[in-house]
Amino acid sequence: MASSTQTEQTFSHPPHPSASVPLALTVEARDPHELPTFTSLTSPVLYLPPLLSSLPEQLEPVSLEDNASSDHPPIRTETRLPDIDPASLSLHKALHKFRPKDAAYASTPYPEAFNWSSLSLPEDEEREWYCVVFRSRRKAGSDGGSLYDADKKAHEEAVRNGGLILYWYGIPDQSTGMNLATCIWQSRKHAIAANSRPHHIRAMRLAAEAYEIYDLERHIIRKSKGETSVRIVPFEGGDVGW
């Protein structure tokens, strides 16, 4: 059986367009709560999963008619609140401003690549979150069709898994072909659970054939009590978050 570290190495690779296009800093004009499509991009995409999620797949909503004679009140909604703590909710709100600092984000150290200093959280909150960073370069002439389909399914699978706070991915550098994408999770356990799903495993196998460079980094976002800013520190082992 693979260790959690080995399993984590196969986690959730991000979709990338098949061709290099000029780098852009402006995030695509779209609702950040709307699941992105997996087609060629001309600007980075910011995705913040909505705070309302669907009912678990094994449960079906009950209509008023079906429940008319029941002693229990009917289910009146097809949504439920996810299990999110106040500090993570504050981070979710702050991350609407998440942006790269310049066009060189794919080759810049993670703590310096984004506008972390612009994110402000309540002073009395204290927490850590788990970050996964992917730096990649596609092989010349690789076919992205199957990989796009696998990425789409893997991404939807990760959202259903729960615990995903942010999913951001850029576009390849026109001169180097390098790209960067990142996920922020409520905890490391959430990330490990998501990467064990079948669509993630299949997508990673396809990625191994499509990329000549695929580097994984892991970091921690740390929010200390008495401060409003966050810090990015290297992940050195152990649990993060819950």
How far does Cα 97 stand from its chain's mean position?
Answer: 15
Residue 239 lies in a domain: no
pLDDT per position as a tens digit, 87-119: 999 999 999 999 999 999 999 999 999 999 999
Q: 12: phi > 0 → left, psi -120 to 50 → alpha, else beta; which? A: left
Number of domains forming the structure of the chain:
1
Q: Whole domain around residue 134: which residue ranges?
A: 4-234
Residues 6+ apart with CB under 8 A from 60: none
Establish if 10 belongs to a structural domain: yes
- Whether 241 is in a domain gets the answer no
What percentage of the chain exceeds 70 in pLDDT? 58
User: One-letter amino acid identity for 47?
Assistant: Y
**Does residue 86 sit within a domain?**
yes
Is residue 190 exposed (0-12), middle (13-18) or buried (19+ Cβ within 10 Å)?
A: buried
What is the helix (H) or strand (E) element at residue 130, kind and residue range?
A: strand 127-138
In a domain, residue 240? The reply is no
What local confidence, expressed as pLDDT, does residue 7 receive? 41
CATH number for 152: 3.30.70.100
For residue 24, the one-letter residue type is A
Quick check: 190 and 164 in contact, CB under 8 A?
A: yes
Query: Does residue 196 form part of some domain?
Result: yes
For residue 43, being part of any structural domain is answered with: yes
Please state, in angstroms and rounded to a whole number, the distance separating the CA atoms of residues 45 and 138.
18
Phi-psi group of 141: left, alpha or beta (phi > 0 → left; psi -120 to 50 → alpha; rest → beta): left
Residue 242 lies in a domain: no
- Enter the pTM of the model: 0.74
pLDDT tens, position by position, 127-172: 999 999 989 888 876 655 565 666 666 666 666 667 889 989 888 8
Task: Report how far residue 225's alpha carbon sits from residue 126's, in angstroms, rounded to the nearest whole number.
Answer: 5
**Residues 37, 169: Cα–Cα separation, whole Å:** 12
Question: In terms of Cα–Cα distance, which of 39, 19, 16 is closest to 168?
Answer: 16
44-90 pLDDT per residue, tens: 889 898 765 444 444 444 333 443 444 443 333 333 445 688 999 99
Q: Which of 236, 238, 98 has the alpha carbon at shortest distance from 167?
A: 98
Q: What is the rounded distance in angstroms from the CA atom of residue 241 to the CA atom of residue 230?
A: 14
